[in-house]
Chain A
Amino acid sequence: MTTWMKRQHLNPLWLLMVPAVGLLAAILLFPLAQSFVRSLGEPTWTLRHYQNLFTDGVTLRVLGRTASISAVVTVVTLLCGYPYAYVMTRVGPGMRGLLLVLVLIPFWTSVMARNFAWILILQRDGPVDSFFGLFGHSVVFYGTGTGVTISMSQVMLPFMVLPLYSALSGIDRRLLLAARGLGSHPVKAFWKVYWPLSRGGVVAGVILVFTLALGFYVTPALLGSPQQSLVAQLLATRTTQLLDFAGAGALGMIVLAVTLALVALAYRVGGNVSAIGVVPTTSAEEEE
């Protein structure tokens, strides 16, 4: 019965895929493939453009800076996101709904509005500067790596909280009570029982946030300083100002390869991590 049905339906259903695949292939995959070919060619096959990345003295430094900012962003989101996700699993449904809406707000907030707000908050004579001015200090994060980190961590928090919440809500809290009942100190009970069980969500969130942070363009361009540019800005400069399409292609391919590898890893570790962030909450709630 089933094989008969499959054979009946196969052809028209595959046709339904044609427009979507065609659109993505023409508009995204073809330019990406072209840029890959360009990075290896012109005029003959060569790895020169890739070698240049490692020898020009700039690219490696920028890549290192990008990786370290991404790492700091990952740590900040983990430190903020873990307690948040934990409390989400402990409160009643109304409060949980509110916390979920709050964590989704950065998703909804326009990219430009968010960055503009951070510029105003962190600039000279902004609220942060005026607050520290009360104590006689001038603190201007605008135009620094710290400013970039603050702004990026805020928008990356949902990508940490949602996989964490999904993992934490699957943990049986009676295990903690059991550990306490057997005489364990609360901190030790957490560290020996709860933390290991949450590790899947932590790994998924960490990889996801780190990966997405690597490709940030607008935030470092607006909040950072041009001397401290990250890899996305380097890519943009090489393309639009230096017109070094082959070199930009090689750099883009490296960023793309690292990103896809890390996302595949996160997917394997964390399972159902949705970039839109709707999937984990429903599946977690059913387990309770």
Chain B
Amino acid sequence: MTLQPTQSPAAMKEPATLPPSQSPSATRRTRGRARGIDPIPWWLKLVVALVAVYLILPTVFVIPMSFGSTRSFAFPPKNLSLDLYRNFFTDPDWLTSLRNSVVVGLLAALIATIVGTAAAVGLHHLQGKPARILRALLMIPLVTPAIVVAVAVYISFLKWHLVGTVQGYVLAHAAIGVPFVLVAVTSALSGFDSTLLRASASLGASPLRTFSRVTMPLIGKGILSGAVFAFVTSFDEVVIALFLRDPTFQTMPVQMYNSVTYEIDPTMAAASSLVVVVVTVVCLVLQYLGSRTKTR
């Protein structure tokens, strides 16, 4: 036990014997003193406020722009309209790319979730050097620069005739999604009492039944958040997608990239806002679910 000069020895030894009226005032006094002696200076608050604005600036900037007109990018937009959204939902190019992104994202997330969850369950019970090496190996896609992966994958996929195909996109995005599933499921498993497995087995359940009735309900939220991460990663992935693109098949980030580089298409503002809002809502829901499991 470390020495705590702010508390009196009596309070340290037997806090329960203090009269109830005295203890809250004592804590208030120490807290007030700790705050009062050096409050956060105003200039520091200002710096943090400016950094906070910097952090959210692009995110909040695109939303008003999306209600602007189809002609110019003036900020703030002069006359508000839903023209850009109408453009987005009537233009076959945008709609096709959106559908492609959803299909690729769902399939990639499905594959990544299945193989990632299996690997996390396996790694959870394995120890020693081989397990550590495997874990590091599975995390490599997280730290490898996307451009290096994209170039290598592009050259190999050219030979395998996977460039510009759904399969190519799905396989590449599934591979980069695996680490996210692995991290989410591993953290769910770390709070998992493995004696439950033995209890279930001793009561006569088969390993498969144990998994579906005991393991799944307890780590389900971890798997779900891993799956959502994998989907969002694929849905937003642009570097590999730019290399795998083909006139006949491209995903929404590629369409967004084209609309910024070749023809400056104002519909981009509506597309950006839609993606930002949808992804933010999904992440907030996920955060909310995560905090609920933690407090319980």
Contacts and interface: CB of A to CB of B under 8 A. Distances in A.
Interface of A: 6, 9-10, 12-17, 19-21, 23-24, 27-32, 34-35, 38, 80-81, 83-84, 86-87, 90-91, 99, 101-106, 108-121, 123, 125-127, 151, 154, 157, 173, 176-177, 180, 186, 211-212, 214-215, 217-218, 222, 232, 235-236, 239-240, 245, 248-249, 252, 255-256, 259-260, 263, 274-276, 278-279, 282
Main secondary structure of the interface of A (DSSP, over half): helix
A105 B59 contact: yes
Nearest to B273: A113
Contacts of B171: 23, 27
A17 B148 contact: no
B218 interface: no
A113 B126 contact: no
A271 B61 CA distance: 36
Contact of B238 (A112, A255, A275): A112
B62 A113 contact: yes
Contacts of B95: none
B224 interface: no
Given A109-B58, A215-B146, A24 B276 contact: no
Nearest to B33: A177
B183 A110 contact: no
Interface residues of B, number: 89
B147 A217 contact: yes
A111 B156 CA distance: 25
Contacts of A211: 143
Interface stretch (B8-16, B18-26, B42-50, B86-94): B42-50
B192 interface: no
A27 B140 CA distance: 12
21 contacts: A9-B125, A10-B126, A14-B126, A16-B118, A17-B122, A21-B138, A27-B175, A28-B149, A31-B155, A38-B155, A80-B47, A84-B48, A90-B40, A91-B40, A101-B287, A106-B55, A112-B256, A117-B58, A120-B75, A121-B61, A239-B151
Contact of B137 (A24, A177, A282): A24
A30 B55 contact: no
Contact of B268 (A83, A116, A248): A116
Shortest beta-carbon contacts, A-B, top 6? A215-B145, A16-B122, A117-B58, A113-B272, A20-B119, A31-B156
Contacts of A106: 55, 59
A21, A99, A214: residue with the most chain B Cβ atoms closer than 10 Å: A21
Interface of B: 34, 37-38, 40, 44-45, 47-48, 51-52, 54-59, 61-62, 65, 73-75, 111, 114-116, 118-119, 121-123, 125-127, 134, 137-138, 140-157, 171-172, 174-176, 178, 180, 182-183, 187, 207, 229, 232, 236, 238-239, 243, 253, 256-257, 260-261, 268-269, 271-273, 275-276, 279-280, 283, 287, 294
B95 to A, nearest CB: 17
Given A13-B126, A19-B118, A120-B65, A112 B145 contact: no
A81 B55 CA distance: 11
Given A111-B238, A115-B260, A28 B151 contact: no
Contacts of A236: 147, 150-151, 243
Contact of A34 (B61, B111, B119, B155): B155
A214 B144 CA distance: 11
A23, A111, A218, A235: residue with the most chain B Cβ atoms closer than 10 Å: A23
Given A28-B141, A102-B52, A278-B187, A23 B111 contact: yes
Nearest to A86: B44
A157 B51 contact: yes
Given A105-B59, A120-B73, A256-B144, A16 B138 contact: no
B141 A24 contact: yes
A27, A106, A108, A263: residue with the most chain B Cβ atoms closer than 10 Å: A27
Contacts of A256: 144-145, 148
